[in-house]
Amino acid sequence: MKITLFAPLDMHLHLREGAMLRLVAPFSAAQFAGAVIMPNLVPPVDNADRLDRYRAEVLSATQPYPFLPLMTLFFRPYDAATLQTLRDQIFAIKLYPEGVTTNSSGGVSDMAAIEPTLALMEELGIPLLVHGETHGFVLDRETEFLPIYERWARAFPRLRIVMEHITTAAALDLLERYPNLFATVTLHHLMITLDDVAGGLLQPHLFCKPIAKRPADRDALLAAALSGHPKLMFGSDSAPHPIDRKEAAFCAAGVFSAPVLLPMLVELFERHDALDRLPDFVSGNACCIHGLTPPSRIVKLVEDPWQVPARYGDVVPFAAGQTLRWRVVD
């Protein structure tokens, strides 16, 4: 059996820079026609020069694949002139609350103070992508952030707001309430719960932010994805860290899922008899929501079992050692 997907998109991807970028980018470019590239580098991507250089580095690392990097800017309280200049070079702006995750120390500490920039983004049609977590108790961080989404969705009804990598049933509920709220969800949050991370021996390679939640949350996310929820987009949040940063005290947050994304998504949707919903989840919904026209690429998968390697370079992938049924072919 063969499966073809038209222009799959990964709407949330960490590629890093330098040698790590060159190691990980080909996995995404081989499977996806494009991806939303996260800006949480050190220093962050927050000006035109850095943006141009980073886009060029991504394009060079994704050769020879036709791959559209949808570049994002790290949220700052940008003024109108800056946003007008940058608007045509970016897909969106990514907002991190200060200190909530990897490389977010330059994030936002006062959510009320940034509303003038949100008003400008609304005016200019620049989408807002949000890492929506507070500094509260780890399982409640996403839920505690939901009132902030609500406030912005109401105050800026023409601002397209994407709740990134949602992990709770409560976030799904909020999607229904505001027409300008959308969400991405990862592969790993459709599959694992907190038990997989910390219920037995600690699994650092499954540790990420937001942390995986309860079975009821995972099941609600999966049901929404399988049902073809039109406001839900696939975004892997594949976030590579070298093994010495993962298998260590102060383990870095991030799941490196890029090499296994489409094979595992196909297997998951197939298992639930929902393969017909996969094209919209991995492409159609994002194209409709954002008016995207990715390179017209057809990605094929064939049934040909393979074992996920224990490592790619010094990075351990999601599902390392497991046998997957589907393989992406060129």
> What number of chain residues touch Zn ion (CB under 5 A)?
1
211 binds ligand DOR (CB under 6 A): no
Among residues 67 and 256, whose Cβ is nearest to Zn ion?
256
97 binds ligand DOR (CB under 6 A): no
Q: What percent helix, strand, coil does the chain show, rounded to 5?
A: 40, 20, 40
Q: Which residues are within 8 A (CB) of 14 and not within 5 positions of it... i.e. 6 or more apart?
A: 38, 40, 237, 238, 239, 240, 254
Of 11, 12, 14, 73, the one binding ligand DOR by CB under 6 A: 14
Q: Nearest distance from residue 12's CB to Zn ion, in Å?
A: 6
Alpha helices, DSSP H only, in the chain? 18-31, 48-61, 80-86, 115-124, 141-155, 169-175, 188-191, 194-198, 215-226, 243-246, 261-271, 278-279, 285-290
Q: Nearest distance from residue 208's CB to ligand DOR, in Å?
A: 3
Active-site position among 10, 46, 217, 237: 237
237 binds Zn ion (CB under 5 A): yes
Largest pairwise CA distance in the chain: 54
Buried b (16+ CB within 10 A) or exposed e, 8-25: bbbbbbbbbeeebbbbbb
Q: Before 127, cis peptide (omega within 30)? A: no
Rounded Cα gap, residues 95 and 108, in angstroms: 7
CB atoms within 10 A of CB 2: 9
Among residues 26 and 107, whose Cβ is nearest to ligand DOR?
107
257 binds ligand DOR (CB under 6 A): no
CB atoms within 10 A of CB 286: 28
Helix (H, G, I), strand (E, B) or coil at 245: helix
- Picked from ligand DOR, Zn ion, none, the partner binding residue 94 (CB below 5 to 8 A depending on kind) is none
254 binds ligand DOR (CB under 6 A): yes
131 binds ligand DOR (CB under 6 A): yes
Among residues 186 and 283, whose Cβ is nearest to ligand DOR?
186
Phi, psi of 199 (to 5 degrees): -80, -25
133 binds Zn ion (CB under 5 A): no
- Picked from Zn ion, ligand DOR, none, the partner binding residue 253 (CB below 5 to 8 A depending on kind) is ligand DOR
12 binds ligand DOR (CB under 6 A): no
Sketch the per residue contact string, 306 through 325, with ligand DOR: x for CB under 6 A, - otherwise.
--------------------
> What number of chain residues touch ligand DOR (CB under 6 A)?
10
Span between the terminal Cα atoms of the chain, in Å:
16
- Picked from ligand DOR, Zn ion, none, the partner binding residue 289 (CB below 5 to 8 A depending on kind) is none
* Known catalytic residue at 237: yes
Give catalytic residues, as residue numbers.
237
Residues that bind ligand DOR (CB under 6 A): 14, 40, 101-102, 131, 208-209, 239, 253-254
